[in-house]
């Protein structure tokens, strides 16, 4: 969890730290990321990093949460899961967060605990959620076949709705 010390930093300094985190985690997986590059790019001391975040995973989870909040706010809540997924993918592909999210789905997601609430979902809702998230993952790590992944999602969601 990000520290209150970080939350109380002046906004320009937070912006520098977040830009450095975004650069590092867009260019490197969580397994190969380095605090040294982050602190150099952010212009902060190494000790300051550890006052703000407990470790690299903590910094990553903070940034990922910030990015997901921004990306999700541009996805309409129409109830159409296919369209929401397609809109999410389009929004990510055209954003500054594309490389970060590609790294996430290609490398980092498997290293992190799942935060998806699955225990209180019906089997159909769970299947729909899983298919949408898998389509996002595939579209970002295999962009050449994005339209096929979305077509498969559309067909699968239609079958689940029958």
CATH assignment at residue 24: 1.10.357.10
Measured in degrees and rounded to the nearest 5, phi and psi for residue 65 equal -60, -40
Domain match, 82 and 58 both: no
Domain match, 27 and 97 both: no
Give dist(CA 117, CA 101) in Å, integer.
Answer: 20
Q: Please determine, for residue 131, whether its predicted confidence score (pLDDT) is greater than 90.
A: yes
Q: Give the per-residue pLDDT at 118.
A: 63
Q: Which of the listed residues 39, 69, 99 is the one where a domain comes to its end? A: 69
What angle in degrees, to the nearest 10, is found between the helix axes of 35-42 and 11-27?
140
From residue 141, give the alpha-carbon distance in Å to each of 44, 57, 61, 131, 138.
33, 21, 20, 15, 5
Q: Give the per-residue pLDDT at 116.
A: 60
Domain match, 65 and 82 both: no
Q: Please determine, for residue 78, whether its predicted confidence score (pLDDT) is greater than 90.
A: no
Domain match, 34 and 92 both: no
Q: Which of the listed residues 25, 49, 69 is the one where a domain comes to its end? A: 69
pLDDT (tens digit per residue) in 80-111: 899 999 999 998 988 999 999 999 999 999 88
**pLDDT band with cut points at 50, 70 and 90 for residue 117:** low
pLDDT (tens digit per residue) in 7-64: 999 999 999 999 999 999 999 999 999 999 999 999 999 999 999 999 999 999 999 9
**pLDDT band with cut points at 50, 70 and 90 for residue 115:** low
Domain match, 135 and 80 both: yes
Domain match, 30 and 58 both: yes
Domain match, 42 and 113 both: no
pTM higher than 0.85, yes or no? yes
Domain match, 21 and 61 both: yes
* Structural domain that includes position 99: 76-161
Domain match, 65 and 84 both: no
Domain match, 92 and 156 both: yes
Q: Which of the listed residues 69, 91, 115 is the one where a domain comes to its end? A: 69
């Amino acid at each position: 969890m990000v520290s209150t010390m970080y939350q109380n930093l002046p906004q320009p300094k937070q912006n520098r730290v977040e830009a450095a985190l975004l650069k590092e985690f867009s260019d490197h997986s969580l397994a190969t990321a380095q605090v040294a590059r982050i602190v150099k790019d952010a212009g902060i001391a190494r000790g300051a990093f550890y006052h703000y975040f407990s470790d690299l995973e903590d910094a990553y989870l903070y940034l990922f949460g910030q990015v997901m909040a921004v990306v999700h706010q541009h996805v309409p809540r129409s109830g159409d899961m296919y369209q929401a997924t397609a809109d999410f993918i389009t929004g990510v592909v055209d954003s500054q967060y594309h490389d970060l999210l590609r790294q996430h789905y290609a490398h980092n997601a498997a290293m992190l605990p799942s935060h998806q609430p699955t225990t209180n979902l019906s089997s159909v809702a769970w299947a729909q959620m899983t298919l949408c998230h898998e389509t996002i993952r595939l579209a970002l790590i295999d962009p050449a076949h994005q339209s096929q992944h979305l077509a498969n999602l559309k067909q699968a969601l239609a079958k689940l709705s029958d």
